[in-house]
Amino acid sequence: MRRLIRYGVIVAAGLLAAACSSSSPGGGTGGGGGASGANSVLTISNENGALWTCGFNPFNGSDTLVSVGFVYEPLVYVNPLQNGATTPMLASSWTWGPGNKSLVFNIRQGVKFTDGTPLTAADVAYTFNMLKKYPAMDLTGVWSVLSSVTQTGTYQVTMQFSTAAVPWFYYIADQTPIVPEHIWSAISNPVAYPDSHPVGTGPYEVNPCTAANITYTANPHFWQPGEPHVHTLKYPAFTSNNTANDELANGQAQWGAQYIPGIQAFYTSKSTAFHYWFPPVLNVSLVPNLTNPLLSNVKVRQAMAYAINRPQVSSIGESGYEPAANQAGIVTPTYTSWLDTSQLAQDGNYAYNPAKAKQLLAEAGYHMGSNGIMVNSAGKQLSFTVINIGDYSDWLASMQVIVQNLKAVGIQVSPENLTNTDYDADLFPGNFQLAYVEQETIGPGPYYELNDWLNSADTAPIGKTAATNYERYSNAATEALLNQYASTTSTATQHSIVDQLEQVMLTQVPFIPVTEGVDWYQYDTAAFSGWPTPGDPYAQPPVWAYPDNEQVLLHLKPR
């Protein structure tokens, strides 16, 4: 017995000693923001849910976020937060040909890959033609609008379009990283090529990569002299949200892309240098299946749009992180310059108005049933199911508010909280009555999201997979507007078309935007300056947004 006690005491003493000697929970050795330029270390906090595979193939969907912007660059940087303001990168200038059927890029001279080989137009042409040869690598589908890409000079590339596609400039110039021909032409199967030691033109090199952490060091041959100012980046692999959030809260990581509940209490209260900004980029919408006989009645949809208390969903469901959306479908303040406020005002701004909702339902032939649900003369009740992603607790909470709002006007909605895969399996083929949806791709203007929703090319019959137009909307007049937009470079025409698209949203209510989805972004100004802020939105701030992340990295300076 005494021996046992003795051993127990020794073990306890050892534990205590270890606890005292190791890093305290608050501070930490290494990983913190470094001091001078040569020693500056920036640590990133972005929970990816898995360990790193150490593959950097920029055309592999799972690897893009760690390779593009760090190692690889596009031709032009287009800023979605500043209405598509452009910054020439690997292309120094460009011109549209007659009728916007062709596009000529002049490639920047004096750029070298990390192995010393100079960049020429041959690399650009090779990259695009490789995407044509291997459609699995064409992540944005540029070859659906391109007909040819040819090198027309040592530093000049000409692209021919098969159809009017001016908005596709974003995907071609901004979203396509340029890879070196002399390396990729030797790869027999570039689709599966891991690219563990990537050679690119970007500001950083991978040095080294382990399953738990990627370290990037500054590229000494980078074509912008003096850049980048931050010498080392650390990108740990976080498998759980809590750990990633914790690293931000104790200052060990400085650049976050995390959803943090109760962010003031959890994060910003810990230090005056901790800040966050959530720029809105896409709508999170209640989407009706327009083939449903009850939902095909526009008055029912309008009633729903008036019945939902968007500010309440925003403050309760999203803790105020995601602002209320508007029925015109324009994300504000990001695209405020596109919003036609007078049109919106004509419909009372579609502001929360349960009385108006009930009135619209009455006009549609519904009256309140004895069970509190609206019913029409044929005996059909306004009772629907809505599919939602069970993993997103903020969407669950938002849906609870929406359900309560709709119940108050007699529309019963029962949520089906599904796993991600089940949700997709129901959403894509149109196996739903209502759905809570946020689109996936951002663009430098409201056209991109509206096009995803309203273009009949992106829909499919019930039972087949729709690309982005899940509600099965199809209207010839709207189609003509979208095509017209695609063929013009005149901003005046573009604005006029978007105004008409807003009118479509207000009168036809193809879907109901509820809140505005945001980019999660946290930053620590103690050791680094030059962060994107609401006053200076020079790029989309999250680390996974490419190639915006490169712009952030080029702006950052150690203090």
Partner 1 sequence: MAIPLSLGQPAGEPRRLPASRALARMGRAVRSNHKATVGTVLLALFILVALFPGVIAHDNPSLDAYKPHLGLSTAHLLGTTAYGQDMFAQLVWGTRNVMIIAFTVGLATTGIAVLVGVAGAYLGGLWDSSLGVLTDVLLVIPLFPLLIVIAAYAHGGGTLLLIVVITVTSWSYTARQLRSQALTLRSRDFLQAARVRGERRLYIIVMEVIPTMTSLIVASFLTNALYAILFASSLQFIGLGDPDTVSWGTMLYWAQNNAALQTGQPLWAIAPGACIAALGAAFALLNYAFDEIGNPALRPVRRSKRVRSA
Partner 2 sequence: MRYALRRLGFFVLTLWVALTLNFLLPRLMPGNPALAMMGKFHGELTPQSLNALEILFGVDTHASLGSQYISYLHQVVTGNFGTSLDYYPASVSSVIGSAIWWTFGLVGVSTVLAFILGTGLGIVAAWRRGGRLDSVLPPVFVIASAMPYFWVGMVLVLVFGISLHWLPYVGGYNVTGDTPAFTLHFIGDVLSHSILPALSLLITTIGTWILTMRNTMITTLAEDYVRMARAKGLPGWRIMIDYAARNAILPNLTGFAMSLGFVVSGAILIEYVFNYPGVGFMLLQAVQGEDYPLMQALFLLITVAVLVAILIADIATALLDPRTRAAS
The residue ranges that bind partner 2 (CB under 8 A) are 1, 4, 8, 11, 15, 18-19, 21-26, 28-31, 43, 45, 49-51, 53, 62, 136, 210, 212-213, 234, 236, 238-240, 242-243, 246-247, 252-253, 391, 419-422, 424-425
User: How far is the C-alpha of 525 from the C-alpha of 272, rounded, in Å?
Assistant: 9
Which partner from the list partner 2, partner 1, none does 347 bind, CB cut-off 5 to 8 Å by kind? none
Classify residue 77 by its DSSP letter.
E
From the list 356-364, 369-377, 391-399, 537-545, the region that binds partner 1 by CB under 8 A is: 391-399
Structure tokens given for 547: 């190639």
Closest contact distance (angstroms) between CB of 265 and partner 1 is 4
SS3 at position 521: coil
Q: Which of partner 1, partner 2, none has residue 397 at its interface (CB below 5 to 8 Å by kind)?
A: partner 1
Cβ-contact 276, 45 below 8 angstroms: no
Taking the CA atoms of 138, 140, 145 and 150 in sequence, report the sign of the dihedral they define: negative
499 binds, among partner 1, partner 2, none (CB under 5 to 8 A by kind): none
Q: How far apart are CA 227 and CA 212, in angstroms?
A: 27
CB 180 to partner 2: min, Å? 25
Residues 302-341 that bind partner 1 (CB under 8 A): 312, 315-317, 319
319 interface partner picked from partner 1, partner 2, none, CB below 5 to 8 A per type = partner 1
Q: Of these partners, partner 1, partner 2, none, which one is at the site of residue 461 (CB under 5 to 8 Å by kind)?
A: none
Half-sphere exposure of 461 (CA within 13 A, CB side): 0
For the chain, the residue count is 559
For the bound state, the minimum distance from the C-beta of residue 312 to partner 1, rounded and expressed in Å, comes to: 7
Alpha-carbon gap, residue 506 to 305, rounded angstroms: 10
Q: What are phi and psi of 376, to 5 degrees?
A: -100, 180
List of E strands, 212-319: 213-218, 232-236, 255-256, 274-276, 280-288
Q: From the CB of 359, what's the least distance to partner 1, in Å?
A: 25
25 binds partner 1 (CB under 8 A): no
Question: Does 393 contact partner 1 by CB under 8 A?
Answer: yes
Residue 438 Cβ vs partner 1, minimum distance, rounded to whole Å:
19
CB of 65 to partner 1, least distance (A): 25
List the single partner that 102 binds among partner 2, partner 1, none, CB under 5 to 8 Å by kind: none
> 225 touches which of partner 1, partner 2, none (CB within 5 to 8 A by kind)?
none
CB 507 within 8 A of CB 329: no
Which partner in partner 1, partner 2, none is near 30 (CB below 5 to 8 A by kind)?
partner 2
Nearest-angstrom CA–CA distance, 356 and 350? 10
**Position 385, amino acid:** T
Shortest spacing between CB 182 and partner 1, in angstroms: 49
In this structure, how many other beta carbons lie within 10 angstroms of the beta carbon of residue 347? 16
Residues pairing with 388 in the sheet: 417
By CB under 8 A, tell whether 279 contacts partner 1. Answer: no
Judged by CB under 8 A, the number of residues near partner 1 is 25
Is residue 461 part of the contact set for partner 1 (CB under 8 A)? no
What tokens appear for 256 in the block?
A: 């976050």
Q: Which stretch binds partner 1 (CB under 8 A): 127-135, 241-249, 453-461, 497-505?
A: 241-249
Strands 366-368 and 374-376: antiparallel
Structure tokens at 268: 């910003």
The residues facing 87 across adjacent strands are 77
Q: Which residues bind partner 1 (CB under 8 A)?
A: 242, 245, 249, 260-262, 265-266, 312, 315-317, 319, 390, 393, 396-397, 400-401, 404, 415, 417-419, 422
